[in-house]
Amino acid sequence: MQSAWQPSCSIETLHTRARLLAKIRAFFLEKAVLEVETPLLSHTIGTDPSLAFFATNYDLPHCQHRLFLQTSPEFAMKRLLAAGCGSIYQIAKAFRNGESGRFHNPEFTLLEWYRVGFTLPELMDEVAELIVSLFAEHHALSGVERRSYQAIFQQYTGLDALVFCYQDYCAYALDNQLPEAVALCEHDHALWLDVLFSHKVQPYLGENSLCMIYGYPACQSSLARINADNPLVTDRVELFINGVELGNGFYELTDAVEQNQRFDDEIANRQQKNLPEVLKDDRLIAALNAGLPECSGIAIGLDRLLMLLSKTASIDEVLSFSIHSA
């Protein structure tokens, strides 16, 4: 029986993690992508209503500041891009409150990188190159697949992901053992997609292969730009191996006015749902106004990637100390 003081993972897994990080750094060094660091503590936090955050107080004489542990290094990295640093990557800790389970720990490790001048397909090429190389010495992936969100959603549900029909979505949920989705999602198209995709599509993606789903519906645009040829689609990609979501990438939005409006919309959504109050990141808006270069970027969960590489069943088994043993 394991003692309470011992690490969550094995010593072998610690070595596997170290080799993984070394390979990632070697990959980006060869491509002349600059490694950077950004603060874990910041005065602002993302406005995304789906993400819960950790807050703390910074005490100074006669003054107190509320600071936030970052859910992602994205905003700070984009400020570096706007300053002219060129293509960059970071291996960073990130924090999300209320997340714990087989694939979740409130403190986790992200690999996030941005490639100046890259379109989303070009970024997907580089993602495939990296992921395939990381699996090569463990258990090689059988291939790489690229599918549009609309096509894969149609294949597994028979529904149109781009055009929301409340009656059709409700009928599908009731016919497929998801009656709770009707009350949960109501007329929220994006929430319907999250629920149906996670239950009825994601488990079948990337069987011993890398599956890249691109062309997400515009209602799930996040920080990606809307596709220039189809306003119903956003230039976003997500990565899956054996049904596990590994990463989320964008052809990055560079329009400060649109980004500011998205922040305002998300803040209004948070208020409507009685979620904790947040302030939008005006420094990011200023950076976009100064000029964010055309770029694509992605964040990959390294703990989940390590789970797949080492064939472990839980994220706890690849962390030196999980939230349960920290």
Read off the pLDDT of each residue in 120-129 and give the average, rounded to a whole number: 98
Element (H, E) at 304: helix 302-310
Distance between CA 145 and CA 137 in Å, rounded?
20
Strand 144-148 with 210-217, pairing: parallel
The pLDDT value recorded for residue 307 is: 95
Edge-to-edge strand list for the sheet holding 41-42: 41-42, 63-69, 54-60
Class of residue 97 by CB neighbours under 10 A (exposed 0-12, middle 13-18, buried 19+): middle
Residue 99 has pLDDT above 80, yes or no: no
Residue ranges covered by each domain of the chain: 11-142+207-318
**What DSSP assignment string belongs to 227-248?**
PSS-TTEEEEEEEEETTEEEEE
For the 11-142+207-318 domain, the top CATH level (class) is alpha beta
At 249-284, the pLDDT tens digits run: 999 999 999 999 999 999 999 999 899 989 899 999
Chain position carrying tokens 């420094």: 283
Question: Could you tell me what percent of the chain has a pLDDT over 90?
Answer: 87
Residue 304 has pLDDT above 80, yes or no: yes
Residue 1 has pLDDT above 60, yes or no: no
Backbone angles phi, psi at 237, to 5 degrees: -135, 145
The pLDDT value recorded for residue 62 is: 84
Edge-to-edge strand list for the sheet holding 144-148: 34-35, 88-95, 107-116, 295-301, 244-251, 233-241, 210-217, 144-148
At 157-186, the pLDDT tens digits run: 999 999 999 999 999 999 999 999 999 999
Mean of the per-residue pLDDT values for the chain? 95
Chain position carrying tokens 């560079």: 254
Coil, strand, or helix at residue 98? coil
The residues near 114 (Cβ < 8 Å, ≥ 6 apart) are 77, 78, 81, 87, 88, 89, 252, 295, 296, 297
Distance between CA 28 and CA 127 in Å, rounded?
11
Residue 208 has pLDDT above 60, yes or no: yes
